[in-house]
Amino acid sequence: MHMLSLRAFVAGVVVGAVVGGGLAIPASARAATPILVAIRAAHHPGLDRLVFEFKGALPAERSARYVTGLVADGSGLPVPVVGSARLLVRFGGATGHADDGNLSYGAARRTYALPGIIQVVNTGDFEAVLTFGVGVAKKTPFQLYTLKNPSRVVIELTTPYRTVNVKSYFLNSANFNVGRKPYTKGAVRPVVATGAATGALQRLFAGPTQGERVGLHFVDSKATGFSKVTIENKVARVYLTGGCSSGGSTFTIADEIVPTLKQFSSVQWVKIYDPVGRTQRPTGSSDSIPVCLEP
């Protein structure tokens, strides 16, 4: 039998095993499937670089494209990813877990303090198809390429805009647990200069980075995001989406939103609205929260 025919025959046997289900896939075939072992992101002049590193060969298929929304493979349920735009990254012929089912690359949802890349979130890992959503600050051009030794898929997202450093305020658990104020601590984030207040809130909803999670936490009070933020006459108005509940706690998302917005000289008062558009004091010179955020 010619070598080409032999390869085709072997490939047909493996495919038949997968589709028919009557035979187990040989261990050698399983070992050949590239395994994602690391995700890294960093800023370089003019761009953010996102790297997916694999054990073994490169995935047979790799692609990235902008999408309007992200859904989980299998369930079809929406996957929230913070950002003004979203990339769907797909690897065909790759996996993100070990034989015991545990993730092989670390956290499935991670936040970055970068000008462009805000979040990277796993959206699927099934039948050797591995997908991720990437939330970014702005929809800008990007390129995808590969490197070897080790096997890497690289996405470079351009950041052709001016940024300013702002702070997103998270719960400082060490202070809160002993009743020592302030209960929040600001984490520095580079955001697009033309929408700094919106950028600061986006970074708040993205949560702390992996390194910051030792002492900082994002209390979401069941909110999944915000539909808009407006600032007029020193009053900032934030409209929450998803849910809204204090859970009986004296510390809520309002305690994070207020200092995050009041760092700007254009904001003196902050009024927070629940997902159906209600707040207790919609007018006047005062802060305001919806009833659902009362203890």
How far, rounded to the nearest angstrom, does the alpha carbon of residue 78 sit from its chain's CA centroid?
13
Please give the DSSP secondary-structure letter assigned to residue 195: G
Domain boundaries, the chain: 32-158, 163-293
pTM: 0.87
pLDDT exceeds 80 at position 31: no
pLDDT at 75: 84
pLDDT at 101: 87
The answer to whether residue 13 scores a pLDDT higher than 60 is: no
Question: Strand pairing partners for 271?
Answer: 237, 288
CA dist 103 and 105 (Å) reads 6
| 3 state DSSP class of 214 | helix
Could you give the percent of the chain with pLDDT greater than 90? 86
Give the tokens for residue 151: 């096997």
Query: In the prediction, which pLDDT does 74 show?
Result: 78
Q: What pLDDT does 73 receive?
A: 87
Residue 24: pLDDT above 50? no
228-253 confidence digits (pLDDT tens): 999 999 999 999 999 999 999 999 99
Give me the pLDDT at residue 27, please.
Answer: 46
pLDDT of residue 163: 98
More confident residue, 77 or 23: 77
> Stretch 168-190: mean pLDDT, rounded?
97
pLDDT, tens digit, for every residue of 36-60?
Answer: 999 999 999 999 999 999 999 999 9
CATH 1.10.3720.10 applies to domain 32-158: no
List, for residues 203-216, the tens digit of each pLDDT value: 999 999 999 999 99
From residue 101, how far is each of 63, 166, 186, 253 by CA, in Å?
A: 25, 39, 36, 34
Instruction: Say how far apart CA 277 and CA 188 lie, in whole Å.
Output: 30
Q: Tell me 12's DSSP state.
A: H
Average pLDDT over residues 71-100: 94
User: Which residue, among 60, 56, 62, 124, has the nearest Cα to 90 in the 3D structure?
Assistant: 62
pLDDT-based confidence at 32, cuts 50/70/90? confident
pLDDT more than 70, % of the chain? 89
Question: For the CA atoms of the chain, what is the radius of gyration?
Answer: 23
Instruction: Report the alpha-carbon distance of residue 270 to residue 59 in Å, rounded.
Output: 48
